[in-house]
Amino acid sequence: MFKDQTVAVTGASGGIGRAIAEMFVANGAKVAICDLELPMETATEIGASAYGFDASNEAQVKSAITAIEEDFGPIDIYVSNAGVGSGNGPHVAGGSNESWELAWQVNVMASVYAARALMPSWIERGSGRFVITASAAGLLNQIGSASYSATKHAAVSFAESIQIEHAQHGIRAHCICPQYVRTNMTKGFDMAENSKDGFLEPSDVAEALKASIEADKFLVLSHPVVADYFAHRATKHDDYLAGMGKLRQKMAGETLPTSK
């Protein structure tokens, strides 16, 4: 299905990005992998080409897209996968302004910058696929990280806007919303290790993306149970918030209040 297509994947030196790149290589695509540091070793290992740039720097994104298109032809699929997360600190607004700004730039604006560079030619060509790796935190919440939750919600919303505004131009968006996946981001993270819904491998997420593209489905739910939680949040919001609060207490090892 992806034979000879040009695919760019950001944040792909390891983890989910690398697995997505490997999936596209295995399916015949020409794949450009990008990360902050030139991901030469990964590129050599998986048969992709390496580009080093900061996905949250608009000028660098623009020139990297130009370079990839000069090397391989027009980009058919752009996977905006680079992401960052950090904890709340002492309370919900305890993270520094710098950590919130970094989350906003990498988790949201990186996709805006890439879309800004790609949309004019995609609209003209009448095709293009924009994939955003958001998170289940973008549909639900990440306990312990308000900045991650807020920016991943914005990432889901931007992906929806692409689909809503540009389906008429033949452009498609997909939004990847996993729970915990075994990568550098979750290394040593107790909450992930103890997750009751299971810890997936990055390749599971890549296969879920392939299936969603084939089925032309917007949401990529590698943990299918997320659809149930999302429906619960939409229909019983107060129950959902109370349940998340209890889960937070359990995670923190606090005693749950007795119900009255």
Ligand X SMILES: NC(=O)c1ccc[n+]([C@@H]2O[C@H](COP(=O)([O-])OP(=O)(O)OC[C@H]3O[C@@H](n4cnc5c(N)ncnc54)[C@H](O)[C@@H]3O)[C@@H](O)[C@H]2O)c1
Residues that bind ligand X (CB under 6 A): 10-11, 13-17, 35-36, 54-56, 81-85, 106, 133, 135, 178, 180-181, 183-186
CA distances from residue 94 to 103, 136, 144, 184, 252 in whole angstroms, order as listed = 14, 22, 11, 24, 17
Least Cβ distance, residue 195 to ligand X (angstroms) = 9
Q: Please, which residue, 15 or 128, has the CB nearer to ligand X?
A: 15
Least Cβ distance, residue 67 to ligand X (angstroms) = 15
Structural contact between residues 135 and 89, judged by C-beta atoms closer than 8 angstroms: no
Q: Please, which residue, 29 or 82, has the CB nearer to ligand X?
A: 82
Q: Please, which residue, 100 or 169, has the CB nearer to ligand X?
A: 100
**How far apart, in whole angstroms, are the C-alpha atoms of residue 27 and residue 4?**
9
Identify the burial level of 248 via C-beta atoms within 10 angstroms of its C-beta, where 0-12 means exposed, 13-18 middle and 19 or more buried. middle
CA 148 to chain centre: 11
Least Cβ distance, residue 90 to ligand X (angstroms) = 23
Least Cβ distance, residue 248 to ligand X (angstroms) = 18
Reference 225, options 177, 170, 260, 172; nearest CA is 177
In the beta sheet, which residues pair with residue 10? 34
- Taking CB atoms, the residue at the shortest distance from ligand X is 83
Least Cβ distance, residue 260 to ligand X (angstroms) = 36
CA distances from residue 125 to 75, 122, 128, 152, 169 in whole angstroms, order as listed = 11, 5, 8, 29, 8
Q: Please, which residue, 10 or 49, has the CB nearer to ligand X?
A: 10
CA distances from residue 26 to 12, 23, 31, 203 in whole angstroms, order as listed = 15, 5, 10, 12
Least Cβ distance, residue 251 to ligand X (angstroms) = 15
Q: Please, which residue, 37 or 254, has the CB nearer to ligand X?
A: 37
Q: Please, which residue, 84 or 123, has the CB nearer to ligand X?
A: 84
**How far apart, in whole angstroms, are the C-alpha atoms of residue 129 and residue 77?**
5
